[in-house]
Structure 1
């Protein structure tokens, strides 16, 4: 049995607790929130009568001595939660983003390494079936190596609350899903970015609801991202809308079930190379899917087997570096180099 304390009992905690309730061998033994009543309410809602609730993570960890911590707090509190978890010799699974700054991200990853604890991030767009299928298709070489990756993200949600007041709202709160998916699908290593943010006249956000970025993903791969969180009409999927151009063909994905590919064949049709449709392989039984559920299961498996989860912090920091690189570029108006640890 793996005992877990969950910290941060806001709305997002329901996705975690829904997933946890479906996993045999996992027990939520503690719930922590700055609002004691909210922690108690979650315990009642999920039938966790024996779970310890409280406002102090250290106190609940001292009392329950769990194997792991689930971190669902706001990003600004993530560093303190991580250091507390590792000090209590707990493994840590955290909601995205890994941290609220490059410095805090490096601190958390290094603390996990020193503590020799498993540390992973809920980067759940990797656990979407078509993302797995695209990676497998590209690895097959049918359309050659990917050279150009394009993603559009246009949705207009009225969240209310903190998002409508935060800085860099699209890049900091949402774009990492798309950035991480792009990096995963084409095995990219981010090296640089140029980005512009703006606030359209119709926006109900304070700052940064629209952005356009061009990333160097290494090896001749360029990734373009165009996004808005105040675009009404013709909205994309939450997964975005994609076109990936390879050396010998292209793949498109509408973010839903529309996944198509064409490969170059011999001959030309006027000025154009001839192409023909090619199949994208079905999901393989070994492919990890399932959103929060799949990630939690992967995290538990890593702890039980002494291996590393796919979305380990030491790797996810590269996707976070894309976010902070884009923000720095937007703020300075210049291209920003990206390293493994950040801009």
Structure 2
């Protein structure tokens, strides 16, 4: 049994507490943290718990928990990460865990220095079709890849009323790295509305994403207009010399098929995963603490996804092709 504290008791934190954590029988939350007294009171009234604390340090000291999960607001990610890691606890943090590469590397280095497991909730890696598509790409099921496109469209207020690059594109940048096993080289981003900082709202963007080896991805992110609703990972078209690999149909994240040069379409079987999406991320995190695996997206690796986000935000602000920071 792993004892955790949960930091963040707003709507997203409540969703984690009531829908995700109960799926793992060997995980026990022994303390709940939020700096907002109203959020603490509302959560205690809703759940009946009295183990609610105002600070990370207080919760860890009172409960003896070895780890924390932190579904907190994006602006608090880096600060909360620093608090938890300096207190000596393992951490599973929401994405993006930082908005710039320097902060991402500083935090991941801190975890490494202290021997702590630090995972990021990049849950699109734990959609059932993601490992299937990755395997097909690795096996060159459609031959040498020549062209890739990714389209995401959902009429979603949470994305529309935020900076969609920070809220959502970070998922897709991370998924690009996961699927193709390549790092970002440069990004050209045209936002739907002006973006001067990560705090500016924009409902979408059109991007050209360059990866290692000359691979370019045409990426459209939209939360406005009338169109078929895509699944959260988006609709992917991966064109190779020997066929076309498709992932995603109208609101269907399990649809995977290959079209050969003769036009014959073959559906690809997508098996179930033991735990889906965020529950799968939490499972990997807990296993990593127990020494039997690694997080779905370790912070040290995820820093490269943050570097792609930073490049996209810079390009959105300047209107120029921006190189992804490498190290």
TM-score above 0.5 = yes
Structure 2 matches for 1:104-119, cutoff 5 A? 104-119=103-118
What secondary structure does 2:112 align onto? helix
Correspondence for 1:277 among 265, 269, 276: 265
Question: Would the aligned equivalents of 1:213 and 1:224 in 2 still touch at CA under 8 Å?
Answer: yes
Alignment of 1:106-255 (within 5 A): 106-159=105-158, 164=161, 166=162, 169-199=163-193, 207-255=201-249
- Match of 1:227, SS state, is strand
2:304 to 302, 311, 318: 318
What's the CA shift for 1:304?
Answer: 0.5
- Tell me the alpha carbon deviations over residues 102-150 of structure 1, each in whole angstroms, 9 at most, x when there is no partner: 3321221111111110001111111111122211222222212433221
Residue matched to 1:29: 30
- TM-score, length-scaled by structure 1: 0.85
Write the distance in 1 (CA, Å) between the matches of 2:59 and 2:260: 57
Query: Please, what TM-score do these two structures have when normalized by structure 2?
Result: 0.89
Q: Which residue of 2 aligns with 1:259?
A: 256
- 1:91–1:119: 8 Å Cα contact kept in structure 2? yes
CA RMSD of aligned residues (A): 2.4
- Secondary structure at the counterpart of residue 103 of structure 1: helix
Taking a change above 3 Å as real, the CA distance of residues 29 and 40 of structure 1, as seen in their structure-2 partners, is farther
> Do 1:147 and 1:220's aligned partners in 2 also have CA atoms closer than 8 Å?
no
2:294 counterpart residue number: 308
Deviation sequence 1:22-43 (CA, Å, 0-9, x none) = 2122111111112234234334
Q: Shift of the alpha carbon at 1:15?
A: 3.2
Q: Any idea what SS the aligned residue of 2:80 has? A: helix
**Which residue pairs with 2:39 in the alignment?**
38
Unaligned runs of 5+ in 1: 265-273
| Cα deviation digits, residues 154-196 of structure 1 (max 9, x gap) | 2222349xx73x5xx1111111122222221222211111111
Q: How many residues align?
A: 319
Q: 2: distance between equivalents of 1:302 and 1:288?
A: 17
In structure 2, the CA distance between the partners of 1:339 and 1:147, relative to structure 1 (3 Å rule), is farther
- The 1-side partners of 2:81 and 2:200 are apart by 30
CA contact (8 A) 2:185 2:211 kept: yes
In the other structure, the counterpart of 1:268 is: none
Secondary structure in 1 matching 2:290 = helix
Q: In structure 1, how many angstroms separate the alpha carbons of the residues matched to 2:20 and 2:200?
A: 33
Consecutive unaligned residues of structure 2, counting only runs of 5 or more, are: none
| 1:270 aligned partner | none
